[in-house]
Structure 1
Amino acid sequence: MTSHAVLLDSFGGPEVLDVREVPAPEAGPGQLRVRVAAAGLNPMDWFMTSDAATAARFGLSLPCGFGSDYAGIVDQVGDGVTGFAVGDRVFGCAISRSIADHVVVDAAGRVAAGSDVHHTPDGVDDRTAATLGIAGCTAAAALAVVNPGPGDTVLVGGAGGGVGVFTVQLARRAGARVIGTGSATSADALRALGAEPVVYGDGLVSRLRDAGVTAAIDLYGTETVLAARELGVPDERITTIAGQIDGITSANGANAAPSAIEEIARLVAAGEVRVPIEATYPVEQIRTAVELQAGRHVHGKIVIDL
C-alpha cells in the first residue's frame, strides 16, 4: 500500500517541499494509523525546516516530512491500544510529518514526545479540528503563564494570527479585556474575536499609555514584551512564544496542561470559540500555502486538504 506525503531532501523555504509517493506507514504496538483528511499550517512548521541548524535543534534530519497538525479517521489500530477503534474521528499533532495521506501516532502520546491524538467532538469538522493542536496548546500555555481574569487588560501582540485567535477568545472567556496588536487591515478581524485593535510599530507605547495594561502575551517577537515593560507590567505577567528575553517566562505548547486541547475542542464544538480559516489548499499547492502562511499577515488559519 502506498501513500502520499510532503517531503523535503534539503532544508529551506517553500521551494524545497514536494509531494511524493511513499510506502504507507504501519501502526505498531500502542499506535494508531490515521487517514488524514486535513492538516493545519503553523509558523513552527516552516521555521523548523528553514535551515539545518534550526532543524537540528528540533531533532529533525533529512529526508524530512512537513507539518504538525492533522485531523482524520483511524484506519489501523496497533496491539495494546484501548479507547480508539477503526473509524473514529481524531485530531492531534504529528510533529513535522502531518501533511501526508497517513500518519502513525502514539495512542498515549504527548506533543512534547512528537505526537498525540484526541477524539474529534461531534460538530467539529476536519478542517477546523486540524487547526487546534499546536495553536490551541500554545495559547493555553501562554495564558497559564499570565493567568488573566476579571479586571485584567491583556495586551496580545500578533493577535490576528493562528495562535492569537485562540489566545484572544480564551482570555475574554476568563473575563479579561483584550487589546490586540496587528496591522491596520486586521482591525475588523480582531474586533470580531473580541479584541480592541491597536496598530503595532512605532508609537505603540504612546497609543497604549492610558489603556491600563496589566498583562501581556507576545505571539510574534519582542515588541509587545518591551512595550509592556515600559508600561509598567511586571515581568511575571508577561510571556512570549517566539522571542527570548531575560526575565520573561516563555510559553511552549508542549507544556500545556494535558486537558487543555480537549477543552478547547469542546468549546469549539459548543460554538463558544470559533476558528477563522483564512484559506484552504489542496496538498498539490503546498508551496503556495506555505508562502502565504510564512508572510505572517494571515488573519486566522491555513489548512491543507488531503
Structure 2
Amino acid sequence: MKAISYSRYGGPEVLAFGEVRDPKVGPDAVLVKVRAASVNPVDWKVREGYLDAILEPVFPVVPGWDVSGVVVRPGVAVSEFDVGDEVIGYVREDFLSRGTFAEYVAAPLRTLARKPRNLSFEEAAGLPLVGLTAYQVLLKVLQVKRGETVLVHAAAGGVGSIAVQLGTHLGARVIGTASESNHDYVRGLGGEPVTYGEGLGERVRGLAPEGVDAVFDTVGGDAMKASANLLAPEGRLVSIADGDVVNYGGRYYFVRPDAEDLQRLTDLAEQGVVSVHVSETFPLERAADAHLRSQEGRTRGKIVVTVDWETEGVQP
C-alpha cells in the first residue's frame, strides 16, 4: 500500500511517500480503508524523537494517530464492526510503526468508534485525539461542574476548540485565550476570549476577579505558570503540554485511547454539541507540508490529510 513513512528521526524532510508493507490484522482489530487522517502537534514531536523515552520506534514508521474511514476487514474475533461500517479512531499503540497516514491501517478495537453521521470524513478525522483529550481532561480529571469558571488556553486550536464547546455544554463559564483574529471564532464556540501574552493574568482577573475554578493548559511555558496564580481556592490545574505543571500544584495528562469515550464524542457530535473546524486539507503525498503547517502553531481548528481513492483508482 501507499503511505507516508520515515526511517529516522528528523524534520519534515524525513517523510517519504511510497510503498510500505500491507498491515496485518490481528484478532481484535479491523482493517480500515483510510479516507482522512488529521495532523496533531504530537505528530511532529514524535517524528523529531521527543517521545523516544516512552515510545519505541519500529522503522520505517508510518506517522499519524487520528483516522476516519471504512471497515474493509474485521479481525477474526471482532463482532462489533462489519465490512462497510464508517469509523473513527485514535489509533495509538505503545510503539511507533503502524500509523494512519496510509491507504490502510489495522486499528485495535479499543481505539475505534462509529463515525458521526453528520460529519464529513475530513471533519470526523479531526475529532478523535483532540476530542478525547478535551473530554477526558474536563470530565474525568478536572471534573468540571455546572456554574464553574474554566480557563482554556489556545481556545481556537484543535484541543481548545473542543474543550470550549464541551465546557459550555457542561454548564461552565469558559474563558479562552486566543489571538485577536480568533476572538469571534471563540465566541462562536461559546467562550469568552482573552488575548494571550504579556498581561494575561490581569485580563483574566478582569473577567474573573475571584479566580477560576479550573485551568486547562494546552501550551505550557509562561501561560501555564501564570495560570497557577489565577486559581480560586481549591482550583485545579491540568496541562497536556508541560510536565513542569506538577511544580505548580497541577497535574500532567496524556490522552489515552478509549472506545467508550470516543463513542460518546460521536454521540455529542450527532447531537450538535461539538463540531470540528477543518482549516486546511492536504493530499497524502503532501503530508510533509501538513506537518510544516502544524509546526507553525497558528492553526484554527484542524489540519487534515486526505486519501483520494476515486482519483487514485485504488481497490480495497
User: Which TM-score applies when normalising by structure 1?
Assistant: 0.91
SS at match of 1:63: strand
What is the one-letter code of the residue matched to 1:197? P
Report the CA distance shift for 1:165/1:186 in structure 2 as closer, same or farther (over 3 A). Answer: same
**Post-superposition CA distance 1:237-271 (Å, at most 9, x none):** 111101122231122211x7652221111111222
Corresponding residue for residue 197 of structure 1 = 193
Alpha-carbon separation, structure 1, partners of 2:102 and 2:27: 21
- Work out the CA distance in 2 between the residues paired with 1:260 and 1:188: 29
Match of 1:100 among 94, 99, 102: 102
Find the aligned partners of 1:56 and 1:35 in 2 and give their Cα distance.
Answer: 31
The size of the alignment, in residue pairs, is 295
Matches within 5 A, 1:37-56: 37-51=35-49, 54-56=51-53
Say which of 2, 19, 22 aligns to 1:21: 19
CA 1:249–1:258 in 2, change beyond 3 Å: closer, same or farther?
Answer: farther
Shift of 1:32: 1.0
Residue 163, structure 1, aligned to residue 159, structure 2 = yes
CA distance in 2, matches of 1:236, 1:251: 17
Kindly indicate whether the alpha-carbon contact (under 8 Å) linking 2:214 and 2:231 is maintained by their aligned counterparts in 1: no
Amino acid across the alignment from 1:210:
G
- Partner Cα separation in structure 2 for residue 234 and residue 68 of structure 1: 38
CA separation in 2, counterparts of 1:28 and 1:93? 17
Gaps of 5+ in 1: 110-115
Please say if residues 114 and 266 of structure 2, whose CA atoms lie closer than 8 Å, have aligned partners that are also in contact. Answer: no
| Structure 2: segments with no counterpart, 5+ residues | 308-316
Query: Which of 133, 137, 147 is the aligned partner of 1:138?
Result: 133
In the alignment, the residues of structure 1 paired with residue 196 and residue 233 of structure 2 have an alpha-carbon distance, to the nearest angstrom, of 21
Structure 1: which amino acid aligns with 2:255?
G
Residue in structure 1 matched with residue 56 of structure 2 by the alignment = 59
Q: Which moved more, 1:120-129 or 1:95-104?
A: 120-129
Q: In the alignment, which residue of structure 2 is the partner of 1:251?
A: 253
2-side partners of 1:30 and 1:258: how far apart?
13
Give the aligned residue type for 1:39.
Answer: A
Shift of 1:18: 1.1
Whole-angstrom distance in 1 between the partners of 2:173 and 2:27:
47
Stretch deviating more after TM superposition (24-33 or 229-238): 229-238
In 2: Cα distance, 1:248 partner to 1:222 partner:
13
Give the Cα–Cα distance (whole angstroms) in 2 for the partners of residues 62 and 30 of structure 1. Answer: 23
What is the match of residue 113 of structure 1? none
Q: Deviations over 1:4-62 (max 9, x none)?
A: 111001111212111111232232322211110000111111111213x5334222232
Distance 1:148 1:30, change over 3 A: closer
List structure 1 runs of 4+ shifted beyond 6 angstroms.
none
Query: Of 78, 83, 86, which residue of structure 2 is paired with 1:89?
Result: 86
Q: Which residue of 2 aligns with 1:75?
A: 72
Q: Is the 8 A contact 2:113 2:259 kept in 1?
A: no
User: Residue 148 and residue 28 in structure 1: after superposition, are their counterparts in 2 closer, same or farther (change >3 A)?
Assistant: closer
When residues 215 and 30 of structure 1 are mapped into structure 2, their CA distance, relative to the original with a 3 A threshold, is closer
Q: How many angstroms apart in 1 are the aligned matches of 2:252 and 2:288?
A: 30
Deviation per CA, 1:74-118: give whole Å up to 9, x if none. 1112212112111111110223511100101222x3xxxxxx111
In the TM superposition, residue 234 of structure 1 has moved relative to its aligned partner by 4.8
After TM superposition, the score normalised by the length of structure 2 is 0.88
Percent identity of paired positions between Structure 1 and Structure 2:
35
RMSD value, Cα: 1.8
